Amino acid sequence: MPGKASVDASTSATAIRQAIADHGPVTFAEFMRSALYGHGGYYSSGSPVSARGDYFTSPAAHPLFGALLAVQLREMWQRLDSPGHFTVAEQGAGNGGLAADIVEFAPRLDAAFGEALDYLAFDAAPPERQHYPVSPLSKLPRHITGCVLSNELLDAMPVHRFEIRDSIPLEIFVGTEDGELTELFLLPSTPLIERRLRPFLKELPDGYRGEVNAGLDEWAELQARTLERGWALTIDYGFDRATLYRPERKAGSLRCYYQHVLGQDPLRHAGSQDITAHVDFTAVDEAMLAAGFASAGSTTQAAFLTRLGLDAAVEQLHASRLPRPVLRANELGIGALADPEGMGRFVVAAHSRNAPETPLTGIATDMPAIITTLPAPPLLFPQRHINLAGQRQGSLGYFEVQSLDELFSDAP
Ligand X SMILES: C[S@@+](CC[C@H](N)C(=O)[O-])C[C@H]1O[C@@H](n2cnc3c(N)ncnc32)[C@H](O)[C@@H]1O
Per CB under 6 A, contacts with ligand X among 38-57 are: 43, 49, 57
Where does this chain touch ligand X (CB under 6 A) — which range of 145-153, 322-330, 352-360, 395-403? 145-153
Distance between CA atoms of residues 122 and 35, nearest Å: 20
Pairing of strands 26-27, 86-91: unpaired
Considering the rule CB under 6 A, would residue 59 count as an interface residue with ligand X? yes
Q: Which of 5, 156, 317, 363 binds ligand X (CB under 6 A)?
A: 156
End-to-end alpha carbon distance in the chain? 64
Considering the rule CB under 6 A, would residue 124 count as an interface residue with ligand X? yes
Considering the rule CB under 6 A, would residue 96 count as an interface residue with ligand X? no
Least gap, CB of 398 to ligand X (angstroms)? 19
Q: Which of 21, 137, 290, 319 binds ligand X (CB under 6 A)?
A: 137
Considering the rule CB under 6 A, would residue 237 count as an interface residue with ligand X? no
Considering the rule CB under 6 A, would residue 275 count as an interface residue with ligand X? no
Least gap, CB of 299 to ligand X (angstroms)? 18
* CA distances to 48, 61, 122, 132, 396 from 126, in Å: 12, 20, 7, 11, 30
Q: Which of 153, 287, 329, 350 binds ligand X (CB under 6 A)?
A: 153
Where does this chain touch ligand X (CB under 6 A) — which range of 10-18, 90-98, 161-169, 342-350? 90-98
Considering the rule CB under 6 A, would residue 123 count as an interface residue with ligand X? yes
Q: What is the CA radius of gyration of the chain?
A: 22
Among residues 84, 218, 221, 97, which one has the least CA distance to residue 146?
Answer: 84
Residue closer to ligand X (CB basis): 147 or 157: 157
Considering the rule CB under 6 A, would residue 343 count as an interface residue with ligand X? no
DSSP string of 236-276, one letter each residue: ESEE-HHHHT-TT-TT-S-EEEETTEEES-TTTTTTTSEEE
CB atoms within 10 A of CB 341: 6
Least gap, CB of 99 to ligand X (angstroms)? 9
Least gap, CB of 18 to ligand X (angstroms)? 23
Distance between CA atoms of residues 29 and 282, nearest Å: 20
Which residues, 6+ apart, have CB-to-CB distance to 384 below 8 Å? 60, 63, 97, 100, 101, 131
Footprint of ligand X (CB under 6 A): 43, 49, 57, 59, 91-94, 98, 123-125, 137, 151-153, 156-157
